Amino acid sequence: MASVTGFLASHVGAVRHHRFEVGIGVRAVSSSESETVAAVNGSSSRNGSLLLKEEKKVPFLRVEEKKNKRGEEEEEGLAALWDDGYGRRSVEDYFAAAKEMCKSDGGPPRWFCPLECGPPFKDSPTLLFLPGMDGTGLGLTLHHQALGKAFEVRCLHIPVHDRTPFEGLVKLVGEAVKLECALSPNKPIYLVGDSFGGSLALAVAARNPTVDLVLILANPATSFGQSQLQPLFPFMEALPDELHVAVPFLLSFIMGDPVKMASVNIDNKLPPAKKIEQLSYNLTALLPCLPELADIIPRDTLLWKLKLLKSAAAYANSRIHAVKAEVLVLASGKDNMLPSINEAQRLMGLLQNCKVRVFKDSGHTLLLEDGIGLLTIIKGTCMYRRSRRHDLVRDFIPPSMTEFRYAMDQVVGSFRSVTGSVFFSTLEDGKITKGLSGVPDEGPVLYVGYHMLLGLELISLTDGFLSEKGIVLRGIAHPELFRPKVESWSSEFSMIDWVKIFGGVPVSASNIFKLLSTKSHVLLYPGGAREALHYKGEAYKLTWPDHPEFVRMAARFGATIVPFGAVGEDDLAELVLDYNDLMKIPIVNDRIRNMNRDSVKFRDETSGEVANQNLTFPVLLPKIPGRFYFLFGKPIKTKGMDKILKDRESANQMYLEIKSEVEHNLNYLIKKREEDPYRNFVDRKMYQIFYPHETDPTPSFKP
């Protein structure tokens, strides 16, 4: 492989920056080396990071200027549904690269940057990957392309025959961290530690409490003393050399799930028979690679690594109280090597700022198995930032095509088919047309509408705008979803995490200000939680504040306001017990009071009925599904309406006009859906069966 070949030539590694295609010499950064030694990345500015002062003395193998429009855009940011490359590389690529790297693997531990990472966008932070037992530094093989868009990626390689003690590795990584901090003092430094690397990351963080570090720990080996394999370790030391070849092969089945590893590049949309065929092919190709672990981890190296794991766990655990960094622990439910879930809960209790996400179907080698991409996890837990403070607007990375497909196929599942959502929009001349052609392409745009029961319409809106327009709707969400206490409710990667991935931000004037100033497409529900958790008899009733909250803000940025209506909740379920009913039930009412006691209140009584936001999930009775309908009214342009900024009466008049338009849209849809021959789920399915090749999968009423 090109990246490994480059790495082997005099420690030459694959390197890139925004104007350089290939790379330079790679050396470990240590305090004993001269200032002429370069670390990982070459650049025409100090933004490359991990560079020493004498940057001009770095010998370039090949430099090629790349100035094109696409490159310029990538520096600034990413478009929605960008290609993150996840699934393009497999565990076979990991073994091929590791095998080639180990052919002539001498020298001290050192950093390298994979070619697949490509140029990140502007002001991206640095990510240092600390490997597990293998020491190759290739544990992020499946994630290189995605991470390379958001980070300056550096991977630590520990050669097979290197015997640097744990304290030496802590010092080496610590010096790299200090150097990076000196070059970019206002940006965080990410340490991604896999197993053994997790212990190493914690140790480095404990010794550098003043550095802004973000730790991502995948099944950290701080619980090595409680490993399920402890009774087997003495036998490994006594095992003859000729039998050692079987040890890594057996460990590969213990450490990871071969089926999950072989499933990485299988398309979820394939028919079951095709999936099984592809899985069988991948397993057949993967299994011959497993014995190669004997070359990656020879007998002497394995015994050394076991001692290193023991000392690493003891070192990290004795200093864990000194860790001040922001920490995210990823724990596998089927880790046969370490009690990772228990360890994650222990670390969450000991560390000051720690989140946990559990992946119940994954094995020890979490980062090499099929599942959710690492960048997706970082985004969903709000751990990605480019400065000292997390900014939900500035630090937002649009969803990739992989994330979009995964969310729609695996997370919401059949919801798209069940609801059969159909969109209508209004053109400039007032004509209603099917689709979203009447919706503005350029921001800033403020979509204002009715919030269905439980916010069921959000999935359809997200799907429709991304599929048809390539637009990310930045939904204004209840602040409760972003509070730390939510972390204790569910440690699995949940729907709340996906809300953040697809652009949700907590409601506040400052967030709306930032979004409109960056020309975003903002989704706002004036009725908020009160409307989404409405009572019996309040379906399609607007519960809005008594005074305008958004009109003047929109006018300040010349935003286009698009009022819309959404109907269909009553075709999906019947509201059986609402808040008033539940408060009459003993014990249940106490739990509701406790849940709402500490909830965020961001509106007072002057706002009217909308301020009564009691967060309680109603009891619903499912129905045979009907259909969701959306109508976006004629866009209202506020550009040039300076009078609204100064005259409250003019702002209030526009507010009432918008509210009236939303009510008109709701009434229009409620009436017109009676004309839809495919409103019922069964009718739609029958149509799709008899007309499978139609351009429009399910027609609706004519507007």
User: Which residues contact residue 126 at a Cβ distance below 8 angstroms, ignoring those fewer than 6 apart?
Assistant: 49, 50, 151, 152, 154, 180, 184, 187, 189, 190
**Dist. CA 171–CA 211, nearest whole Å:** 15
- Residue at token pair 């979009």: 404
Q: Say if residue 519's pLDDT is above 50.
A: yes
Q: Say if residue 57's pLDDT is above 50.
A: no
Length of the chain: 703
For the stretch 133-168, pLDDT in tens is 889 999 999 999 999 999 999 999 999 999 999 999
What SS3 class is residue 244?
A: coil
Q: Which residue has the higher pLDDT, 304 or 105?
A: 304
Q: Say if residue 469's pLDDT is above 70.
A: yes
User: Which residues contact residue 331 at a Cβ distance below 8 angstroms, ignoring those fewer than 6 apart?
Assistant: 219, 340, 341, 343, 344, 356, 357, 358, 359, 491
State the chain's mean pLDDT as an integer: 82
How sure is the predictor about 329, in pLDDT bands with cuts at 50, 70 and 90? very high
Hey, which of 296-300, 333-337, 673-677 has the most confident mean pLDDT?
673-677
Q: What percent of the chain has pLDDT over 90?
A: 55
Q: Say if residue 608's pLDDT is above 70.
A: no
Q: Say if residue 478's pLDDT is above 50.
A: yes
pTM listed for this prediction: 0.84
Q: Which residue has the higher pLDDT, 232 or 670?
A: 670
By mean pLDDT, which of 290-294, 401-405, 511-515, 622-626 is the weakest? 290-294
How sure is the predictor about 2, in pLDDT bands with cuts at 50, 70 and 90? very low
**Dist. CA 215–CA 213, nearest whole Å:** 6
Q: Extract the tokens encoding 61.
A: 């193998």
Q: Extract the tokens encoding 364.
A: 């020890």
pLDDT at position 237 is 62
How sure is the predictor about 612, in pLDDT bands with cuts at 50, 70 and 90? low
Radius of gyration of the chain measured on its C-alpha atoms: 28
The beta strands (E) that lie in 479-625 are given as: 505-506, 521-524, 560-567, 573-577, 619-622
Q: At CA 261, angle to CA 256 and CA 266, rounded to 5?
A: 160
Phi-psi category of residue 620: left, alpha or beta, with phi > 0 → left and psi -120 to 50 → alpha = beta
pLDDT at position 646 is 82
- DSSP element (H, E) containing 629: strand 629-632
Q: Say if residue 72's pLDDT is above 70.
A: no
Side by side, the strands of the sheet bearing 326-332 are 110-112, 152-157, 126-130, 189-194, 213-218, 326-332, 354-359
Cα-based distances in Å from 310 to 23, 265, 294, 307, 482: 36, 35, 21, 5, 38
**Dist. CA 164–CA 305, nearest whole Å:** 11
pLDDT at position 113 is 94
* Nearest by Cα to 149 from 123, 121, 113: 121
Bond into 444 cis (ω within 30): yes
DSSP annotation of 25: B
Cα-based distances in Å from 611 to 79, 184, 618: 37, 44, 18
All domains of the chain, ordered by start, with CATH? 91-381 (3.40.50.1820), 402-572+625-690 (3.40.1130)
pLDDT at position 381 is 94
Q: Say if residue 49's pLDDT is above 70.
A: no
For the stretch 202-213, pLDDT in tens is 999 999 999 999
Q: Say if residue 641's pLDDT is above 50.
A: yes
**Dist. CA 230–CA 453, nearest whole Å:** 53
Q: Are 102 and 96 contacting, i.e. CB atoms less than 8 angstroms apart?
A: no
Q: Which residue has the higher pLDDT, 542 or 16?
A: 542
Q: Say if residue 30's pLDDT is above 70.
A: no
**Dist. CA 679–CA 698, nearest whole Å:** 10
By mean pLDDT, which of 228-232, 403-407, 491-495, 501-505 is the weakest? 228-232
pLDDT at position 287 is 59
- Residue at token pair 């039998």: 243
Strands 213-218 and 326-332: parallel
Q: Which residue has the higher pLDDT, 641 or 237?
A: 641
Residue type, 692: P
Q: Say if residue 427's pLDDT is above 50.
A: yes
In sequence order, the β-bridge partners of residue 437 are: none
pLDDT at position 119 is 86
Q: What is the mean pLDDT of residues 307-330?
A: 96
Number of helices and strands in the chain (H, E)? 26, 18
pLDDT at position 56 is 30
* Nearest by Cα to 148 from 113, 119, 111: 119
Q: Are 306 and 216 contacting, i.e. CB atoms less than 8 angstroms apart?
A: no
How sure is the predictor about 337, in pLDDT bands with cuts at 50, 70 and 90? confident
Q: Are 562 and 633 contacting, i.e. CB atoms less than 8 angstroms apart?
A: yes
Q: Say if residue 41's pLDDT is above 70.
A: no
Q: Which residue has the higher pLDDT, 164 or 13?
A: 164
Q: Say if residue 121's pLDDT is above 60.
A: yes
Cα-based distances in Å from 459 to 112, 142, 163, 379, 452: 41, 28, 53, 19, 11
By mean pLDDT, which of 57-71, 173-187, 278-292, 658-672 is the weakest? 57-71
pLDDT at position 308 is 94
pLDDT at position 627 is 95
pLDDT at position 414 is 86
Q: Which residue has the higher pLDDT, 319 or 24?
A: 319
CA 658 to centroid of chain Cα atoms: 35
Q: Extract the tokens encoding 378.
A: 């970082």
Q: Say if residue 74's pLDDT is above 50.
A: no
pLDDT at position 283 is 60
Q: Say if residue 691's pLDDT is above 90.
A: no
Give percent helix, percent strand, percent coil of the chain, each to the nearest 5.
45, 15, 40
For the stretch 563-589, pLDDT in tens is 999 999 999 999 999 988 999 999 988
Q: What percent of the chain has pLDDT over 70?
A: 79
**Dist. CA 408–CA 415, nearest whole Å:** 8
Q: Say if residue 245's pLDDT is above 60.
A: no
How sure is the predictor about 242, in pLDDT bands with cuts at 50, 70 and 90? low
Alpha helices of 502-587 — where are they, by DSSP H? 509-517, 528-532, 551-556, 579-582
